[in-house]
Structure 1
Amino acid sequence: MAPTLDIEKLRLGDLIEISRGTYQHWAVYVGNGYVVHLAPPCEGPGGGSSSMMSVLADSAMVKKEFLWNVVEEDEWQVNNGLDREHSPRLGFVIANEAMGWVGRSVPYSIFSGNCEHFVNNLRYGKNVSGQVTQATNAAIGLGAAGLVVFGVLALARGIGRENRNKE
């Protein structure tokens, strides 16, 4: 699928969310059609973070690449969704700071230092990732559901034993 937005409408510091199927890759717009983003060092130019190997990486390279090379054929959108909760920094400040990171290798953790953490830190000064929060909440929900099922099964087993003991 072709990109979903006109590049002319992008503003410095806009956060770009790129759908990679099972997860979202994030970049920050720095002007003239370029974005800055985190990508595992094992991926070549234009590779973005489309590889599941990024989950296993313990470091990532900060890259400046042309937006279309990062997006490729994936769907994308501007997503400055945290603007309602946090005050964004000025666009030129975000872009300048992002450019200062280009070429650096940084520690990477899918849980505390992924590409979404990186861009949110640039825009808001907040190390947050909605994907990690959603995954954590889902895991907690599944764990709670598992405990409920376990409890119901244990209760049913206990009632079954009581009924057998009464016979």
Structure 2
Amino acid sequence: MADGRRHPQPGDLIEIDRKVYQHWALYVGDGYVINVTPVDEGAPSLSVSTTSIFTRKAKVKKQLLKEVVGNNKWCVNNKYDRSRTPLPVKEIIRRAERWIDREVPYDVLGSNCEHFVTELRYGEGVSDQVTKAVIGTTAAVGGILLVGLATAVVKSLCGDSSRRERNYY
């Protein structure tokens, strides 16, 4: 659950509401966040999830929070703090800054923007929005078989992230 603060502290997770999904960034201080963006420099960071599905890559950028947010709503959301222990703030920032301007694998199901920032904060990449989307699809359609098929289709588009190493530190 979001804590509603509008004044993030270094190491905080920032949840940005988009029309179909949430984009995630890590606040590093002085108005800046680190987040994954499309590899194509001309593509806006707002479309990272749709653009990167097809490229299977994203680029880590340090940008002003207000530029990443645009006209969307956002909040500090360290929702996993109840079940995971955050790393020390200096370690979170050090790990994050090592990735600036580097390309990383991108996969909606296994290596998305939320996975990236939670790996930096907790040492483990997790994404509730993926879990909720899969469960929601199962409930709406009423069959696990269709979710399995949809997962296989998305993985074929994105590549199987289980075969790639992900270490965001």
Task: Give the TM-score, by structure 1 length.
Answer: 0.77
Paired AA for residue 73 in structure 1: N
Give the SS at the match of 1:101. coil
SS at match of 1:131: helix
- 1:139 CA displacement: 2.6
Q: Percent identity?
A: 44
Which is greater in Rg?
Answer: 1
Structure 2's unaligned 5+ residue stretches are 145-169
Q: Which runs of 5+ in 1 are unaligned?
A: 148-167
Query: 1:147-158 counterparts in 2 under 5 A?
Result: none
2-side partners of 1:44 and 1:34: how far apart?
Answer: 20
Which range moved further: 133-142 or 63-72?
Answer: 133-142
Query: Which aligned segments of 4 or more residues in structure 1 are displaced greater than 4 angstroms?
Result: none
Match of 1:95 in 2: 93
Look up the equivalent residue of 2:58 and give its one-letter code.
A
Aligned length: 140
Task: Please tell me whether the aligned partners of residues 11 and 91 of structure 1 are also in contact (alpha carbons under 8 angstroms).
Answer: no
Which residue of 2 is the match for residue 63 of structure 1? 61
Match of 1:117 in 2: 115
Q: Secondary structure at the match of 1:49?
A: helix
The letter of the residue matching 1:34 is: Y
Aligned to 1:137: 135
Matched-pair contact (CA < 8 Å) for 1:38–1:61: yes
The separation in 2 between residues aligned to 1:59 and 1:36, in whole angstroms, is 16
Give the secondary structure class of the aligned counterpart of 2:111: coil
Please give the residue correspondences for 1:31-42 in structure 2 after superposition, counting only pairs within 5 Å: 31-42=29-40
Aligned to 1:49: 46
Task: Give the letter aligned to residue 140 of structure 1.
Answer: T
Separation in 1, partners of 2:94, 2:108: 25
What are the Cα deviations for residues 49-82 of structure 1, in whole angstroms up to 9, with x where unaligned? 3353233230000000011110111100000000
TM-score of the pair, normalised by structure 2: 0.76
> Which of the numbers 26, 29, 41 marks the counterpart of 1:28?
26
8 Å contact from structure 2 (residues 38, 47) kept in 1: no
The separation in 2 between residues aligned to 1:81 and 1:108, in whole angstroms, is 22
Residue 74 of structure 2 is matched in structure 1 by 76
Partner letter of residue 46 of structure 2? S
CA distance in 2: counterparts of 1:57 and 1:129, whole angstroms: 20
Q: Contact conserved, 1:55 with 1:110, CA < 8 A, in 2? A: yes
1:109-163, Cα deviation, whole Å (9 max, x unpaired) = 01100000000101111121111111111233245x258xxxxxxxxxxxxxxxx
Give the match for residue 159 of structure 1. none
